[in-house]
Structure 1
Amino acid sequence: MLAAIWAQDKNGVIGKDNKLPWYLPEDLKFFKDSTVGNTLVMGRKTFEGMGSRPLPNRETIILTKAPSYTAENVKILHSTEEVVELANQQSTPVFVGGGTEIFRELLPHFDYLYRTFIDESFAGDTYMPEVDWSHWKLIEKTEGIVDERNRYKHQFEIYGRK
């Protein structure tokens, strides 16, 4: 199973300067709860934006076209075809956490989409590629809690391919 996981604002912004443009602890928990114990694939810029260290309790794979790229405690792949092959061989989910180009290339191969939708607008320089929602069915939707730490209205959505 291959799944995309991301948070976006209402304009499709997913990042700014290789980081999240918001702080939303509930989304970080959703991401962690979804990916712990599974494989997490991300691009080099996303990985470096997180401090160039793998997240705990996940097999971390960096997808990069740079043939000489190295990083400690991660696996390196160089094509989206390798990611699809890996997902087809594993019995546990493979989550893809960005960035834009990787989402775009893998969109036809995703079985599930895990999206946090934040009902706000943020300045950003990275956007989620356009998703043709007619190919997807909403499986689960949960309203996020807004409080002093989670200041933005948000919801967690899981879609399966029709």
Structure 2
Amino acid sequence: MAVSMIAAMAKNNVIGHRGKLPWHLPKDMAYFASMTKGHPVIMGRKTFESIGKKPLPQRTNIVITKRDVYAAPGCLVAHSLGEGLFYAQISPHAEEIFIIGGSVVYKEGLRYTERLYITEIDYECEGDAFFPDIDSSWWKEISRIEALPDEENMHRHAYVTYAKLTEKERSVLERAFHVVVEIMPKDSILDPEGAAIMKGLHTLGFTHVNRVRIGKRIQLEMRGTSSASIRKSVESMCQKLLANSIIEYYAIQVM
């Protein structure tokens, strides 16, 4: 059993807006059908409702919902992704299972997924549903087929396949990174320690000092496969622990 994801997304990772696709690409719809037909497909409730509350033909349709009671005629109803995957693996043609949306299911499903089939659309648009970032420290591109716009397909796009890196591949790519995080109080925040130091400097005769702000510098030694993935991890550290975003700003250097 292999778990795959299939999605179409704009340049800004948008996959939908108000329950609809913000583009018209019949080629991509045909590609989606050809890839998923005959296989189990797993989707969230909102995705199921966005396609008209009807099962996709010639596929085992599994709908995930947190609602205790939910009617989805012609579909199997699961109350978690794990339960949905269980139903999928005992369904016909379960050699490949497709997760088809939406945002929450994609995000949760990445850890189970071995392959991504992504239609990358050369277009930026407004949206309220997004595909997760494809982290190059976890995924490698293995194929790309470009498609030009025509009378029926408005946007240039590409059918891109990503495979999850093995542990061995990740270990080969990993290297050491030195990270420096500088954290300073925002300009609107009083800095009594800085004011005290400036007063002391003036007392010592350094009257040309006009302002002192006290911050902190944090150094991290990390291992990873790319500076982008390291930066993203440190951003999360800053937001969750290292800095107080209400009163401080921070700058990250990855070396």
TM over 0.5, yes or no? yes
Flag structure 2 segments of 5+ consecutive residues without an equivalent.
166-255
1:148 to 1:120, Cα distance in 2 relative to 1, 3 A:
same
1:150 is aligned, of 153, 159, 163, to 153
State the partner residue of 1:102.
Answer: 105
Task: Work out which of the two has the higher radius of gyration on C-alpha atoms and give 1 or 2.
Answer: 2
User: Deviation digits for residues 33-53 of structure 1, max 9, x if unmatched?
Assistant: 100010111111111011000
Residue deviations 1:30-72 (CA, integer Å, cap 9, x gap): 1001000101111111110110001111111101111211110
- For 1:3 and 1:43, the matched residues in 2 are separated by 15
Q: CA deviation at 1:131?
A: 2.6
Higher RCO (Cα < 8 Å, 6 or more apart): 1
Please give the alpha-carbon distance, in whole angstroms, between the structure 2 residues aligned to 1:158 and 1:145: 18
TM-score, normalized by length of structure 2?
0.61
Alignment partners' CA distance in 2, 1:88 and 1:72: 20
Distance in 2, Cα, partners of 1:44 & 1:94: 18
How many residues align? The count is 162
Partner of 1:61: 62
Give the 5 Å matches for 1:36-75: 36-75=37-76
Q: Quote how far apart the aligned CAs of 1:89 are.
A: 5.3
Identity %: 38
| 1:72-105 deviation per Cα after TM superposition (whole angstroms, max 9, x unaligned) | 0000111112234345556421101111001111
RMSD over equivalenced CA pairs, Å = 1.4
| 1:19–1:46 Cα contact (<8 Å) kept | no
Q: 5+ unaligned residues in a row in structure 1: which ranges?
A: none
Report the equivalent of 2:119. 116
CA contact (8 A) 2:41 2:88 kept: no
